[in-house]
Chains A and B, each alone.
Chain A
Amino acid sequence: MTAVKLTLDRLTKQYRAGLAPAVDRLDMEVEEGHLVALLGPSGCGKTTTLRMVAGLMDPTAGRIVVDGRDITATPVHERGMGMVFQSYALFPHMDVAANVAFGLQMRRVAKSKQTELVRNALDMVKLGHLASRHPKELSGGQQQRVALARALVVEPTLLLLDEPLSNLDAKLRETMRTEIRSIQRRTGATTLFVTHDQDEALDMADRIAVMNGGLIEQFGTPADIYERPRTRFVADFIGRANLFEASVAAASGTGSKGETVYRIDVPGIGTSEAIGEAGLEGSQRTVLVRPHRVQVELGAQPGGLTGTIENVSYTGDALGYSIRLGDVLLQVERHTADGTIPARGEQATVRWAAEDAYVLPEEVRAP
């Protein structure tokens, strides 16, 4: 299968004049063979984007380009894509083999060749033995695999997955994640994947596009998105986050990956250090500290920020604290070490390495 490159060029969808666009001048490049996750809360425009790429919905403006060819006006059935729907959308009146063979029939593949390709596709998803079952006789995970085989058997130029795992139970979802990812790698199909589940996106995707209100907030690798979020929305949406405002003072050095280390002043609490892009001195910015990157010591200790423990939650593996520092309620998560569980109301001192706190490049948005 030759992988293709997908380019979205100022792609826009406005359902009704006067309404805010569901997708607003979206630009995106999906490299050959990459799996890109469109991640965001419901209503962020991710499904609309996918449906426009599939051709199930007409864009209001903008272009969809596959390998340099503009397909914006190409009808759905001539796009040669593969799609897995949230509901799987298996044809209830056909058995598994007929479901998988449907796309081949549409392409007028010879009967004997069809049989062979269907068998290979079903073997790939480990369902060869269920070829004569009907969809309603299959479990959710099996239906999901049939849908995947049906989409892949036609060797699509582009594979589109619309929340394919959201109807599975938690355990199966994990298995299918790995399985989809390995099948996608093997076939090399360029893939667009819609999800609202950040774990899924971080685990599976080569690149993640975090969407909000019809716009892409950030497009980058999972590590970029998690470690170096560009906006407060991204920092908050991906993983757990402590976000507070601080004045960025002078740069005090350079981090291990070349970032600038700043002294930051959190009003009413104290000063600490954080890293960020160059040129943020003297500005007011949001700072991100992940709960598990915060060091905590009991009692008031020098060289850190001291506050009061407001709440403790013990979950066996982990110990969660809510520590009050002025206006900020800092969430801290540590692995349990020696079984001591501090009491509420005790004093505690928190500190973090400069590299564990990140100054967001986005200017503080007016509340």
Chain B
Amino acid sequence: MTASAPAPFKKRVDGGAMAFRVIVALSYLFLLAPLLIVVVIAFSSNQYLSFPPEGFTLRWFAELPQQAGFMQGLQTSLITASAATLIVLVIGVSAALALDRYDVPGKAALSSFFLSPLLVPTIVIALGLVLVLGPLGLTNTYESIVLGHIGITLPYVVRTTLMSLATSDTSCEEAARVLGANAFTVFRRVTLPIIRPGVIAGGVIAFIVSFDEAVISLFVAESGRPTLPVQILRYVEYSADAAVAALSVVLIVFSAVVVVVVERLMGLKRTLA
């Protein structure tokens, strides 16, 4: 090896790093391009959904509150997503606790059962729900949507909580018990604070998944309680103006705010890790 050898070697690494950066940038561009186009259209003065814009305006945003369908859908979505998230947190955290901390019979089977909705196509779940809820007269209600969303969001909460539990030290709970805390106090004062990142991450994901979900909502409550995604679907079917793009921008900002708040409060990286 001559003394000059390290120089070209270093240059090659730089070239590789540059190529890597370009590829990453292109990948991001590819992933974000649809969003960028939607954002641009939301401010476009074109009469119909089209690209490129001929001018810019805020009128689509101003029109949003007048769209009764959107407002009603937003209300339904907020109510159902909140209810589903609360219920799924109670069920999911309890299930994860039982699976991780106790000797439940059929642990492995239960564990796969709780994660199985991730593997079943949502449309199959939706169809099954309609077949069951229809005869019971439960379709087109808040309850039907909440029920369906509990099923599909449960795996996320169980998963994130299990991850937090797996990395926590059970001897903290034992220490609390020895110090005189009963089972409920141990959970409230020790276990829950320790697994909080996983619980919050699960809750946020559950809320976003439920808020965003269209297939189940469409099947079980299309005519009675259309959620916001269902209303958007309908709107695009019958109209072609940019109000829907403006709404999308609002939703993007909303999601981003949630993520930023969680990140600020506890670090999303830590909650997902």
Contact = CB atoms under 8 A, between A and B. Distances in A.
Interface stretch (B142-150, B171-179, B231-239): B171-179
A55 B169 CA distance: 18
Given A56-B178, A102-B179, A87 B193 contact: no
Interface in B140-175: 169, 171-172, 174-175
A345 to B, nearest CB: 49
A80 B175 contact: no
Interface in B159-204: 169, 171-172, 174-182, 185, 189-190, 193-194
B260 to A, nearest CB: 23
Interface string A61-88: 0000000000000001111111101110
Contacts of A87: 169, 171
Interface residues of A, number: 26
A171 interface: no
Chain B residues touching A, range: 10 to 19
B177 A77 contact: yes
A51 to B, nearest CB: 9
Contact of A85 (B175, B180, B181, B194): B175
A93 B172 CA distance: 11
Contact of A92 (B172, B174, B177, B181): B172
A154 interface: yes
Contacts of B175: 83, 85, 89-91, 150
Nearest to A81: B178
A79 B185 contact: no
Interface string A280-308: 00000000000000000000000000000
Contacts of A186: none
Given A85-B174, A91-B190, A92-B194, A106 B169 contact: no
Contacts of B177: 55-56, 76-77
A102 B171 CA distance: 15
Interface of A: 54-56, 76-83, 85-87, 89-93, 102-103, 106-107, 150, 154, 160
